[in-house]
Amino acid sequence: MALPKLLEGRLSLPLIASPLFIVSGPELVIAQCKAGIVGSFPALNARPADQLDVWIRRIKEELAAYAAANPGKPVAPFAVNQIAHKSNVRLMADVEVCLKHEVPIIITSLRAPRQVVEAVHAYGGIVLHDVINIRHARKAIEDGVDGLITVCAGAGGHAGTLSPFALVRELRTFYTGTIALSGAIADGASLLAALAMGADMGYMGTRFIATAEANAKPEYKQMLINSTCSDVVYSAFFSGVHGNYLAGSISQAGLDPFDLPPGKRETMDFSSGDSPEAKLWKDIWACGQGIGAIDDAPPVAELVERLRHEFADAKRRLSAIAA
């Protein structure tokens, strides 16, 4: 188990900030990378499509300038998430933009096209792939990905149902590559726990929605601060795929979050994110089960420094117990 060479010496914490639909933009990604964690965004957040080129140029230029001005600080590489789904008509064009700019990390979701992996490897980049079960993991490994993101129970948005104790441990019986664990990781202690059970990195999303740089409505951030894990609803109603959402946002849409109609409202369209009535992601807000750890919305730099202290404190407590 080890980090990819691309990340060696470039992190203040073994952490990836997950790509958040609508929420993740250049400001958030740049702040995350400057703080020494991998920042990421979905390619589909750049709208219209020609903005993807603009966003990547800005991120690369600002991070290069910051690294030159701060040679003693770790500046993490950034990642772009590609949704490999038939409804994503932008996929190949967006991939071409990423290849042109030699984006260091590509995160693939739903399917890991072998041709994307090979193209990214050609310039020295890496591909990490989302998985929710062993079958998906084996297919991604066959396609040559450089690491797996295990989306376990408690993760925000579209999430799996397996406990990380089950999925990560079973993966480690046959896979020695990089694993980033996703699922209710919201503080430094839970990040250390992810490493203790066999992951190499944490994958944290919801906690970064409640930050100053996140492109989220103030009401969304405040609802995260005010909510607890009992306010998380796991349902397939909104997209046809099970996911975790804030009960309060469902109530605002005129629905009973704890008595949703059976079936699904419609099939997710990854190209637009639109749905009738309240819009998924824009009005129905995703969140993970770790929201009980959120009580403010600080700048990213302040949050990452706090995570570093929490991580170190947790290590000290563990060492004291072991002694």
pLDDT digits (tens, 9 = 90+) for 44-56: 999 999 999 999 9
Quick check: bond before 71 cis, omega within 30?
Answer: no
Q: Compute CA 205 distance to the chain's CA centroid, rounded to the nearest angstrom.
A: 5
Supply the pLDDT for residue 274.
40
Q: The whole model's pTM is what? A: 0.94
Supply the pLDDT for residue 323.
72
Supply the pLDDT for residue 193.
96
User: What are the boundaries of each domain within the chain?
Assistant: 9-215
9-215: CATH topology: TIM Barrel (3.20.20)
Supply the pLDDT for residue 264.
65
The full DSSP string for 130-178 is EESSHHHHHHHHHTT-SEEEEE-TT-SEE---S-HHHHHHHHTTT--SE
Q: Which two tokens stand for residue 79?
A: 């990642």
Enumerate residue ranges in the chain where pLDDT < 70.
1, 263-277
Supply the pLDDT for residue 169.
96
CB 210 within 8 A of CB 221: yes
Supply the pLDDT for residue 261.
79
Sort 167 into a burial class: Cβ within 10 Å, 0-12 / 13-18 / 19+: buried
